[in-house]
Amino acid sequence: MPNILVFAETRGSALRKVAFEAISAARALVDANGGGQVHALCAVPSGGAALAGQLGQHGADVVVTVEHPGFANFAREAVAATLAARAQGGGYRAVLLGFSAQGRDLAPRVAAKLDAPIATDVTEIRIAVDAVVVKHPVYANKVIATLQLDGPLVVLSTRPGSFAAVEAPRTATVESAAPASDPSGEKVVVKEMQEGGKGKIDLGEAPVIVAGGRGLKAPENFKLVEDLAAAFGNAAVGATRAVTDEGWRPHSDQIGQTGRQVSPQLYVAVGISGAIQHLAGMRSSKTIVAINKDKEAPIFKVADYGIVGDVMEVVPALTQAVREAKAHS
Amino acid sequence: MTTSNVVFLLIVTAGAGFFALNVQRLVRYLRIGLAENRTNEPGVRVKNVLSIGIAQSKIFRDHIAGPMHAAIFWGFIVLTAGTVEILIQGVFSDFSYDAILPEPVYRFYAFSQDGFALLVLGAIGFALYRRLVLHPRRLEGDKLEHTDALIILSLIGGLMLTLLLTNAYAYLAGSTLVGPEKFASRLTAQMLGRSVTSPGYWAGVFWWGHVVILLIFLNYLPYSKHLHVITSLINVFFSNTSGPGQKGVMRPMDLEADVEQFGASDVDHLTWKNLLDGYSCTECGRCTAACPANITGKPLSPRKIVINTRQRLMEKAPLATGDRMEFIHPRLVHGEGGATGAETASQVLGERLLDNYITEEELWACTSCRACVQECPVSIDQLDIINQMRRYLVLSESRFPEEIQPAFESLERNGSPWAFSPADRGRWAEGMDIPTMAEAMERGQRPDILFWVGCMGSFDDRAKKITVAFARILKACGINFAILGQEEHCHGDPARRMGNEYLYQMLAKDTIGTLDRYDVKTIVTSCPHCFHQIGNEFPDFGGNYEVIHHSTFIERLLEQNLVPLQGEDGKRLTVAYHDSCYLGRYNDIYDAPRATLKRALPVVDIVEPKRSRDRGLCCGAGGGRMWMEERQGKRINVERTEELLATGADTIAVACPFCMTMISDGVKAAESDVPVLDIAEVVAGQLVS
Amino acid sequence: MKIAVCLKRTPDSESRFRIAANGAAIDETGLKFDIDDFASYAVEVALQINEKQGPGETVAFAVGPDSVQETLRKAMSMGVDRAIQLKTDATTYDGLAIAKALAAELKAGGFDLILFGKHAFDTSGGVAGTATAELLGVACVTAASKLEIANGKGTARRELEGVAEIDEFSLPAVVTIDEGIARPRYPSLKGIMAAKKKPLETKPAQLGQPRVTVKKMELPPDRPPGRIIGDGVAAVPELVRLLRTEAKVL
């Protein structure tokens, strides 16, 4: 079994979770196919060697460090060129990246440079003799496609969370390499990075939304919803049409047919009965939690988890529990 | 022939000639509108003129202003006979009907003249009192409007006074023609006293006064909102608002037509009849007083829509028709919130009815409830103008409240105004053993009836309960029915009401294709909007079916004792029934839902809210408002729910899934726990289990 | 400016899918197709840029069978000036092959800006746009949630995991568009009528031998039915446990 080259994604000089996931995926692949080496390439402004320990812990045999001050920001062209140059060097069956913001951007570039078949956002990988077979969710996860990639070298990106980062400790050999193109001569230059968390998270982007309805009874009780959102940390606050009509919240917070249509990872509906107007805007959320005092409320029909009860009692308790859970993770 | 006769002839000819010139001008203005045939079914049209025009049936809807107006109107008709007599006298000084009529007939005529003159005077007095003292809200026009009204009232009063005074002085001068039947004239004479000098002379003066006021009145009309004196009967004749044809049916558009724009943005894209509506409006404000949007503080006033149409016509038509009679251009025709101050021709042509007079916000505020149309005493169709303008906004400019775009897109893609999968449409019926048309056909069965469920009934959780209740009734009665299941999709009515005729026709034609493929003859539905659309508007596209609303259908079943009801009378309920606009004002179904409640619950008390039946207040969802934000004023559903709750009823009944949503929300907003039930749910609750 | 927008035609996202008899495709019967959501954002962005910049040309491209002509017409009804179909027999999952076909066509087009959707609803790959840029050797910004063009330079905003990145780039460039950047306009009937008369050219797509093929399509296991886990405050610990272990969102 030939080797697999993995892009060890970093932000600043810290490795990201997707890097470990991709290395673990690669480790499992080479192990299942008669052995081979996992090579991890990281592009950092400095201190690349310091990452070798962590990467080796997860199964990297070789760590290629590429250092250049220009990597302080996302130098997409140089990273792609460097990955492609390393892959071109031979001996690789696949290049693996995480399907993160960086990986989404880099994988097609690498594939185009290598003229290699590519599959992104994969959840399973099998390597057969002359082909690589992957599973890739399509149609917004409503269908799972099994794709076959024909070619001696393929580019794959792994869906975050689909491959567990498991430890397979070894001591990685550290190699250093030069960038294949100058990171300071990029066609696209990062002008500014704006840290999240300071401003309000947009409803369209928030992974978690806590939304309140008329069941909150009074505008001041929206504090409960805000507190719960704050406990999640990455949550935005939404509202039903009834609430925005009453002027308890601005119209821009409205979720539903006439407001925003959202599909976060987690949607917490607080005191929302679930009128058609509202459901049309949030039904496609991945996980829906409903808290309502009326157990006949239509929201429970779409909710994955429901609690029947007084929002004034349940929500503060949930806020506390989420805070504790977050503190321990 | 005396000099006086010659002078009279000259004055009358001049007055009539000038009037004729103005009439010709006004008719020419109408011609800048689009052509439309309004002469079909003359029988119905004559009947409308007799009942709405002559018998003043709609005028009487206002119990105070109604009799007042009727007195003046009928007085005018009766006194016209006298006017003719006076005109003949102008030429043949000694003429009197006395000479040609049998004695009793003449006496009756003479009596009627005096009687009505007095009646009209009384009505004028009351009208002045209303305007100057009472100030009813709906008459609050601008200053010019007020002056106009006072001028007209004075002229009519003047006519009556001169008539009586002429007769009184003639009597004093010893005329034998003023018999005891002319009691008012004699009374006037008595008040004048016997001592007047040269009564013959004064009789002449007032006779001339009468003639002159008459001619002034006639020639003032074209410059006044009181043009309705001439146009209203004509307008009632040409109107379709009370038939012929089904009420509220929107006109199909030819979308393949090679036109520069679709819909109306200015007066020349409206039909001549829309423009005639402008001539016929007296600005009585009954439409605006009944408008749910206006009542709750939205920018829409149906009266303003019509007045603006007239204003703009008067501004643009002279240029468009090359009318060179600058000197008679009507400056007196005042406006309502829309005087644009355009002076030069290029300014005038650079403006239009939309935006310069009527704003987008006004047009989108309409719930298409038809209350304005219902109230108009002269059969003006305010809603038609609004609909034509909405069509322009959507089809030509793609301008509409942004929140309705998802509804349009979902109608296009999912066949429902809400983004739900068509595959889920029949889910409510799971486990109920209800066949789809396709399944029935496969088994070689021919269902008698198609149950058209509608989008609300298919996808809205609350409305699904109505659907299930109605289906249970149908099954309990052994009705052989089927649904379309996945093959049903929206017929396009919401798109049509929101001005998107293109999307509507696509959906409607497709629906007709499906219905015809199964050779559907009879359809029942629990949604008044589906009922109206499929039953009344599909025929224009070749879809002809017998469509029955569930209220009527259940009532028939109850009447025939086909519904297996529980024996006991059940709990005594006090129910307030909320009239759906599309059931009521569009289809005249007021009794069936009430009768259904009474038959199903023998001990029910039905109470009526302040506004009910054909005066019922809209729930606020119609005209596509269901998919729009209500950003201004009080919420219509809250207003309506308050009226319903004020009856003290312990249950509110509705017969429309849209009303259900709006009224249920209203009840929640009022923090009340009065249940809102559809009539089908009330009946289903009484079924033998 | 001369702007190209590359489109896809995809089924509505509310659709319920079935697998075709061959087990390697979805059953398209009953599905409603339209311009892909992300592509429609791209069209809107292109139109807005040209409206702002003054006279320009917007050209829509699509790789696919003749059914994509409907989608190209839709783009033209929104305001795109003309369209080019690169004809293939079916939708391919080989994003790089699509990029090659597009790059071959775009190369000589003289476009200042080439827009794509971030990815398409059907293949969900997000490959074609970036790969096209790479093949053309031009600048590329992916998943832009804001885009401004001024003085021959572009500025884009990208929403990353918890961070926003502001990029500057030179033209010509490829930009792939994220959702929410602008509400795509609703075509007026006037636009629809005008689109019927706009030029739509069809050329064979130079796809080459596809190296990514679909072996199988399957539906994921059904989402477990929702459940009420309890009443009141007592149910909170169980909810937190489920969110952590089952839904994995905590």
Per-residue pLDDT of A142-169, as tens digits, reads: 899 999 999 999 999 998 878 888 999 9
Q: CA A266 from chain center: how many Å?
A: 14
The answer to whether residue B573 sits within a structural domain is yes
Q: What is the mean pLDDT of residues A288-302?
A: 91
CB–CB of C188 and B398 under 8 A? Answer: yes
Lowest model confidence (mean pLDDT) among B236-240, B554-558, B578-582, C244-248: C244-248
Residue numbers in A near C40 (CB within 8 A): none
Q: How far is A174 from chain C (nearest CA, A)?
A: 29
Among chain C residues, CA nearest to A106: C130
pLDDT at residue B36, rounded to an integer:
94
Q: What is the pLDDT of residues B415-445, one digit of tens each?
A: 999 988 888 999 999 999 999 999 999 999 9
Within an 8 Å CB–CB cutoff, is residue C150 touching chain A? no
Domain identity same for B67 and B205:
yes
C-beta of residue C48 within 8 angstroms of C-beta of residue C5 = no
Domain residue spans of chain A: 3-185, 208-327
Q: Are strands A14-15 and A10-11 parallel, antiparallel or unpaired?
A: antiparallel
Which tokens hold the place of A221? Answer: 């009780």
Q: Is residue B261 part of a domain?
A: no
**Residue A254 or residue A108, greater confidence:** A108
Is A276–B460 a contact, with Cβ atoms under 8 angstroms apart?
yes
Number of domains in chain B: 4
For A208-327, which CATH class? alpha beta
In this complex, the residue of C14, C187, C191 whose CB is nearest that of residue B414 is C14
Q: Which amino acid is at B599?
A: R
Mean pLDDT, range A248-258, rounded to an integer: 85
Return the pLDDT at A199: 52
Least confident of B307-311, B566-570, C161-165: B566-570
Helix boundaries (H) for B92-193: 103-129, 143-172, 183-192
Q: Do B526 and B574 fall within a single domain? A: no
User: A202 — contact with chain C (CB < 8 Å)?
Assistant: yes
Contacting partners of chain A (3+ CB pairs under 8 A): B, C
pLDDT of residue B369: 98
Pick the residue of A217, A257, A272, A284 with the most B CBs within 10 A to test the interface with B by mutation: A257
Q: How confident is the model at residue A197 (pLDDT cuts 50, 70, 90)?
A: very low
Measured between CA atoms, the residue of chain C closest to residue A299 is C226
* Alpha-helical regions (H) of B299-351: 302-320, 345-350
Which CATH number belongs to the domain containing residue B515 in this structure?
3.40.50
- The answer to whether B414 faces chain C, any CB pair under 8 Å, is yes
What pLDDT sits at residue B337? 60
This prediction has a pTM of 0.90
Same domain, B217 and B303: no
pLDDT of C13-26, one tens digit each? 878 899 999 999 99
Residue of B nearest to C182 (CA): B402
Provide mean pLDDT across the span A161-186. 92
Residue B395 has pLDDT above 90, yes or no: yes
How far is it, in rounded angstroms, from Cα A95 to Cα C93?
Answer: 19
Residues of B in contact with C34 (CB under 8 A): 412-413
- Report yes or no on C210 lying in a domain: no
Kindly identify which residue of chain A lies nearest to residue B633, measuring between CA atoms.
A245
pLDDT in the model for residue B349: 87
The answer to whether A265 contacts chain C (CB < 8 Å) is yes
Chain B residues lying within 8 Å of A276, measured CB to CB: 418, 456, 459-461, 463, 661
Q: Which residues in C lie closer than 8 A to residue B417 (C-beta atoms)?
A: none
Range of the domain at C32: 2-204
Q: Does A302 touch chain C (CB under 8 A)?
A: yes
Which candidate from A105, A111, A306 shows the least CB-CB separation from C229? A306
Cβ atoms of residues B244 and B179 within 8 Å:
no
* B325: confidence class by pLDDT, cuts 50, 70, 90: low
**pLDDT computed for residue C16 by the predictor:** 85
Minimum CA–CA partner of B661 in chain A? A275
Q: Is residue C160 part of a domain?
A: yes
Q: Judge if B550 and B570 occupy the same domain.
A: no
Q: Kindly identify which residue of chain C lies nearest to residue B407, measuring between CA atoms.
A: C186
Contact A117 C212 (CB under 8 A): yes
Please give the average per-residue pLDDT across C77-106, as a whole number: 95
Q: Tell me the average pLDDT across B382-392.
A: 98
Average pLDDT, chain B: 92
Domain tally, chain C: 1
Q: CB-based contact (8 Å) between A252 and chain C?
A: no
Q: Determine the pLDDT at residue B2.
A: 83
Q: Which of the residues A106, A114, A139 would you substitute to probe the C interface, choosing the one with the greatest number of C C-beta atoms within 10 Å? A: A139
More confident residue, B576 or A163: B576
Nearest C-alpha of chain A: how many angstroms from C165? 5
For chain A, the first-to-last Cα distance in angstroms comes to 38
Please indicate, yes or no, if residue C247 is contained in any of the structural domains: no
The verdict on a CB contact (< 8 Å) between B418 and A275 is no
B565 neighbors B600 (Cβ within 8 angstroms)? yes
pLDDT per residue over B542-560, tens digit each? 999 999 999 999 999 999 9
Distance, in angstroms, between C63 CA and closest chain A CA?
18
Domain containing B167 equals 3-30+62-223
Of the residues B411, B418, B456, B527, the best mutation for testing chain A's interface (the one with the most A CB atoms within 10 Å of its CB) is B418
CATH architecture of the domain A3-185 equals 3-Layer(aba) Sandwich (3.40)
Q: Nearest CA to CA, how far is A287 from chain C (Å)? A: 7
* Contact check, Cβ <8 Å, A205/C159: yes
For residue A223, CA distances in Å to A211, A217, C95, C215 come to 11, 12, 47, 51
Q: CB contacts < 8 Å between A and C, how many?
A: 246
Q: Are the CB atoms for A238 and A254 separated by under 8 Å? A: yes
Residues 6+ apart with CB under 8 A from C185: B398, C44, C47, C78, C79
| A280 interaction partners in chain B (CB closer than 8 Å) | 406, 418-420
- Interface contact B255-C183, CB threshold 8 A: no
What pLDDT, in 10s, does the model give residues C165-188? 999 999 999 999 987 788 899 999
Q: Which of residues 595-654 of B touch A (CB under 8 A)?
A: 627-631, 635
ipTM, interface predicted TM-score of the complex:
0.92
Cβ-based interface (< 8 Å): residues of A facing B: 214, 241-242, 245-246, 251, 257-259, 261, 274-277, 280, 298, 301
User: Could you tell me which residues come within 8 angstroms of residue A58 by beta carbon, excluding any fewer than 6 positions away?
Assistant: A20, A23, A24, A27, A165, A166, A167, A168
- Mean pLDDT across B582-607: 94
Is the residue at C250 inside a domain? no
- For residue B605, the distance in angstroms to the closest alpha carbon of chain A comes to 29
B39 in any annotated domain: no
Q: φ, ψ for residue C200 (rounded to 5)? A: -130, 115
Distance from CA of B60 to the nearest CA of A (A): 39
B505 within some domain? yes
- Longest CA span, chain C: 68
Domain's final residue, options B557, B592, B607: B557
The mean pLDDT of B580-604, rounded to a whole number, is: 94
Closest Cβ–Cβ partner in C16, C34, C186 for B413: C34
Instruction: Please list, in sequence order, all residues whose beta carbon lies within 8 angstroms of the beta carbon of residue A53, skipping any fewer than 6 positions away.
Output: A172
pLDDT in tens, B348-368: 889 999 999 999 999 999 999
The DSSP result for B165-185, as a single string, is: HHHHHHHHTT-TTS-TT-HHH
Mapping DSSP to helix (H, G, I), strand (E, B) and coil, where does residue B338 land? coil
E-assigned strand segments in A228-301: 235-239, 266-270, 287-292
Is residue B328 situated within a structural domain?
yes
Q: Helices B461-476 and B550-559 sit at what angle, rounded to 10 degrees?
A: 30
Q: How far is A6 from chain B (nearest CA, A)?
A: 41
Q: Which residue has the tokens 């476009």?
A: C111
Residue B447 lies in a domain: yes
Give the distance from residue A242's alpha carbon to the nearest chain B alpha carbon, in angstroms: 8
| pLDDT, tens only, B122-180 | 999 999 999 888 888 877 777 778 888 899 999 999 999 999 999 999 999 888 888 88
Chains with 3+ CB–CB pairs under 8 A to C are: A, B
The answer to whether the beta carbons of residues B126 and B72 sit under 8 Å apart is: no
| DSSP H or E stretch at residue A39 | strand A38-44
C225 occurs within a structural domain: no
Partner-chain residue, chosen from C32, C34, C190, that has the shortest CB–CB distance to B395: C190
Interface test with B, best of C188, C196, C219, C222 (most B CBs within 10 A): C188
Q: C-alpha C50: how far from its chain's center?
A: 20
pLDDT at B93: 83
CATH code where residue C99 lies? 3.40.50.620
Q: Is B461 in Cβ contact with A245 (below 8 Å)?
A: no
CB pair distance less than 8 Å for A326 and C250:
yes
pLDDT in the model for residue A198: 45
Kindly state whether residue C211 falls inside one of the protein's structural domains.
Answer: no
Res B330: pLDDT? 54
| Touching subunits for chain B (3+ Cβ pairs under 8 A) | A, C
Residues B9 and B157 in one domain: yes
